[in-house]
Homo-oligomer: A and B are copies of this chain.
């Protein structure tokens, strides 16, 4: 690879020598390379929601940065994305007292009528709890999901809490609710959290998440008696827009490809430092660390996906656009779990390759996870077509303090964690690039 001077600056710890084997420790160098890239995206671009003006600037940033760093075959592949505009929101307790609440519309929420909706609140703890309520207690009311998100290392607290956001509005609508409020899905003390809701075939009702302290206030008042809430959302479905998957490569000796992915977009209300500027930094820097060892055997292809957040448009578009070369993809890895250190190695590989995964986990001092259980969102369409995946699970203890909130700023990046994850990605990408046999294919549509 023709290393640009910026690359050299970024990777001073990783001097290339004649014998790549001698420098494998450089793959795990103590370096801020991924942090510097993540901070650049956050600082120079900011929020970059699919189809927005910030999204277009993010694409330009990625093209420029790939080029500056000496990547080859740099290109933007068009992706059509849905575009939704949040508009203003107002949520107020109208009785007892009068309190304005900090809240964010859920992604894709329909607007309220212009004058808003004012109704009594009925609280439920879960989708199951909602189903137990007679429809008469839901009809005409605002359903409030009060479930709390547990802080966990493996993100299971989030997984457990998120159905209230994803299908709560649809389920409540089917029982006649006028709107839905949820306690923010997250572990933070203050900020409201957004994220997609899915109406499926249910009537579409407006939905929003309350910031945790405002949820506390609502719950204290609900403990005393009936509460009336006013909700006004001025969101808008703005149809389709154009975005792009941005790709840069470290060309190899063979036509085979090792794909490292992350997503370029963020939610509209956040600069998305952990979600997913961190991942963008990790995969770009990991590829450069491999490149610094000399021309790889297989091509390292870095894909910065469009619109993960609001429908995985980029992941789906990539699999379609590259249908004729799926068989050349030897391995995929995605970085979309923030900046915490990797601690466990999962995979989606053929059984015959599981011992190799165990060996790599041991070499990287990671716990050995499960086969076929965890994986990245954007690369899932490839895995369904039989492409093997390695998935380095990162420490999620702090991630959901800021995930999908305005608090996901550079200050929330874990620098030491990022450096460690970058090393893990570099070692795994190098292994996938250089080892003779490659990985076996998965059965398609696993």
Contact = CB atoms under 8 A, between A and B. Distances in A.
Most buried by B among A102, A190, A221, A271: A190
Nearest to A42: B217
A43 interface: yes
A352 interface: no
Contact of A47 (B46, B96, B100): B100
A411 B212 CA distance: 10
A411 B216 contact: yes
Contacts of A191: 190
A221 B43 contact: yes
Interface string A403-420: 000110111000000000
A53 B39 CA distance: 43
Contacts of A189: 407, 411
Interface in A13-69: 39, 42-47, 53-54, 57
Contacts of A98: 46, 53-54, 57
Interface in A70-125: 93, 96-100, 102
Nearest to A52: B98
A217 B410 contact: yes
Number of copies: 2
A132 interface: no
Contacts of A57: 97-98
A220 interface: yes
Contacts of A99: 46-47, 271
A163 to B, nearest CB: 26
Interface residues of A, number: 32
A45 B95 CA distance: 10
Contacts of A221: 43
Nearest to A402: B190
A140 interface: no
A410 B190 contact: no
A294 interface: no
A213 interface: yes
A439 B162 CA distance: 62
A51 to B, nearest CB: 15
A217 B45 CA distance: 11
B45 A406 contact: no
Given A46-B99, A191-B190, A216 B409 contact: yes
A406 B54 CA distance: 28
B97 A44 contact: yes
A42 B53 CA distance: 40
Interface string A152-172: 000000000000000000000
A126 to B, nearest CB: 23
B44 A217 contact: no
A286 B51 CA distance: 58
20 contacts: A39-B220, A43-B97, A43-B217, A43-B221, A45-B97, A46-B100, A46-B217, A57-B98, A99-B271, A189-B407, A189-B411, A190-B191, A190-B406, A190-B407, A213-B407, A213-B409, A213-B410, A216-B409, A217-B271, A220-B410
